[in-house]
Amino acid sequence: MEGKTMAQLRDLLLTRWRQYRRAAERDRRRENESAEMSTPPAEIIDVAQSLEQLGRDTSLAEQERRELLAIERALAKMATGSFGICEECGEEIPTKRLMVLPEARLCAHCQAFEEKQSSRMRTFRVVGE
């Protein structure tokens, strides 16, 4: 991979990393503020709505945390020289894929296979339960 392309990808990853870090800090501040200002809800509907919102917020925060970890892993791979190599088959991940998804760990073929396997496992768990 060319040095210019690698620099573009590193800049893209760092920009996204900063965005997720700012979002995480903002969420933490909101949580602290709401904990300080929270008053007991007057009705059961208020409790239900609060719990539903908490669930959504937690889900979003978890997704952001996973994204942040993926970006950090990609930056670490850049530092060690293993960036852009599929973790499954060892082939080089095409630059076009990395430009769209710079934190990609797998080539498109291996990613599709992993998603197919994952889908089968979810189906098996639902049917098997």
d(CA 93, CA 103): 11
State how far the Cα of 8 lies from the Cα of 83, in Å rounded to an integer. Answer: 13
Are the C-beta atoms of residues 114 and 108 closer than 8 Å to each other? no
pLDDT at 12: 94
Name the residue range of residue 24's domain.
3-128
pLDDT above 60 for 38: no
Spatial distance between the Cα atoms of 99 and 126, rounded to a whole number of angstroms: 36
Instruction: CATH number of the domain at 107, please.
Output: 1.20.120.910
Give how many domains the chain has, as a whole number. Answer: 1
Mean predicted confidence (pLDDT) in 37-58? 69
Convert the pLDDT of each residue in 60-105 to its tens digit. Answer: 778 888 999 999 999 999 999 999 999 999 999 999 999 999 999 9
The reported pLDDT for the residue numbered 75 is 94
Please choose, from the candidates 57, 1, 53, the residue with its C-alpha nearest in 3D space to the C-alpha of residue 28: 57
Q: What is the pLDDT of residue 81?
A: 92
Q: Enter the pTM of the model.
A: 0.68
pLDDT higher than threshold 90 for residue 110? yes
